Amino acid sequence: MIKKLFLLTICSLLSNFLFSQKKILAKYALSQKISSDYELVFLKYNKNYNLYSNPRILHKGKLKLVSGFDESNYSGAKIKISKNKKYFVLDNIIKGYAYVQNDSVLHENYNCVIIDIKKSKIVYRMQSDCGGKWNKKNQWVYKNEILF
């Protein structure tokens, strides 16, 4: 009888402990695996533009701001990761309305950036060279020209 009472008490205490713990789950607009240790996450999604903003690098549970990326700019969901997983290319889209008197005009400027994953910062900016690709030597190449 004492064993049963002891087991019931332990089970009750254990279940109270387990179910009372609050799990803090971060909600991201989008999360993309870069490597086994790193993820790219976007904190916001603009439904009207169908674009993401506020990119962060997630590493070991910590979010790092991408240094040099303007928080008011946007990006699509597609990234191009270098073979060694040290860099990736991300769209950097400037999009918004310009207001002139009583009228507004939507303006867009498309470019892209190369981001150093470990440093979580922009290391190279491009405008017309975004259609390139990573070669086997982890160099960004566009039209047979090594750019980075």
Q: For 34-47, write each residue's pLDDT tens digit.
A: 999 999 999 999 99
| 112: nearest Cα among 143, 96, 85, 133 | 133
The pTM score is 0.78
The pLDDT of residue 118: 97
Integer Cα distance of 138 and 148 in angstroms: 9
Question: At 80, which helix (H) or strand (E)?
Answer: strand 79-81
Confidence at residue 8, expressed as pLDDT on a 0 to 100 scale:
42
Q: What pLDDT, on a 0 to 100 scale, did the predictor assign at position 23?
A: 37
pLDDT at 144 > cutoff 80 = yes
Report yes or no: 71 and 81 within 8 Å, Cβ to Cβ: no
pLDDT-derived band at 101, boundaries 50, 70, 90: confident
Whether 121 contacts 115, CB under 8 Å = yes
